């Protein structure tokens, strides 16, 4: 039997970004992209990805610091080593996320869903989601080549977003 160490994630998912080193003992700043910022520590192990290179890391300790976190990586106690990780993406394997109940979904799951208005007119495919202070926004690639602009639809459930069909990968919206 071959024993293979997993040093790259399966089904990679971006959850944060590495900032600059903090102090001289090898701590480093990190910025969480998770909805609840400290939930980033629930999804382990982390993989740092920079310049097409992967580095699997284990977190030894972490602290909240201003509007982000500082972490100590297991086995690293030197600033010169952590400086190499600055601007790395923090990636996890998708299977590290908790399983969801039926009809629940993660934001990344609805990318490429087809969007229809309540008149059954096809509007396009979801290509991105934007987080704003007031509500999230669906970015839909307009099906018509005439307009060349994406459609931005506020993600307000029951009012604008009428149904997210996870089985068929459709989203129905109150939109013209």
Domains of the chain in sequence order: 12-96 (2.40.30.60), 107-173 (2.30.30.240)
Q: What is the three-class DSSP state of 159?
A: coil
Least confident of 42-46, 95-99, 101-105: 101-105
Mean pLDDT, the chain, integer:
89
Work out the number of other CB atoms within 10 angstroms of the CB of residue 151. 19
Check whether 145 has a pLDDT greater than 70.
no
Residue 3 pLDDT > 80, yes or no?
A: no
Q: What's the confidence (pLDDT) of residue 152?
A: 93
As a whole number of angstroms, the longest Cα–Cα distance in the chain is 61
What average pLDDT does the segment 126-133 reach? 88
pTM: 0.76
Average pLDDT over residues 43-69: 94
Higher pLDDT, 86 or 9: 86
Q: Which of 27, 41, 83 is nearest to 16 (CA)?
A: 41
In tens, the pLDDT along 61-84 reads 999 999 899 999 999 999 999 999
Spatial separation of the C-alpha atoms in residues 139 and 171, rounded to whole Å: 12
pLDDT of 19 reads 96
Q: How far apart are CA 42 and CA 102, in angstroms?
A: 22
pLDDT(35) > 90: no
pLDDT for position 6: 63
Distance separating alpha carbons of residues 167 and 121, to the nearest angstrom:
19
| Confidence (pLDDT) at 4 | 46
């Amino acid at each position: 039997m071959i024993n293979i160490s997993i040093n790259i994630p399966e089904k990679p998912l971006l959850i944060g970004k590495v900032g600059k080193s903090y102090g001289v003992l090898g701590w480093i700043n990190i910025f969480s992209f998770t909805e609840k910022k400290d939930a980033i520590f629930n999804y382990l192990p982390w993989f740092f990805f920079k310049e097409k290179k992967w580095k699997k890391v284990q977190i030894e300790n972490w602290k909240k610091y201003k509007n982000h976190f500082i972490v100590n990586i297991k086995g690293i106690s030197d600033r010169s080593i952590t400086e190499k990780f600055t601007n790395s993406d923090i990636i996890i394997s998708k299977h590290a996320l908790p399983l969801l109940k039926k009809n629940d979904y993660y934001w990344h799951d609805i990318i490429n869903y087809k969007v229809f208005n309540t008149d059954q007119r096809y509007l396009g495919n979801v290509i991105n989601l934007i987080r704003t202070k007031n509500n999230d926004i669906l970015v839909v690639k307009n099906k018509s080549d005439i307009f060349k602009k994406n459609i931005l639809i506020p993600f307000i459930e029951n009012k604008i977003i009428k149904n997210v069909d996870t089985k068929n990968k459709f989203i129905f919206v109150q939109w013209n």
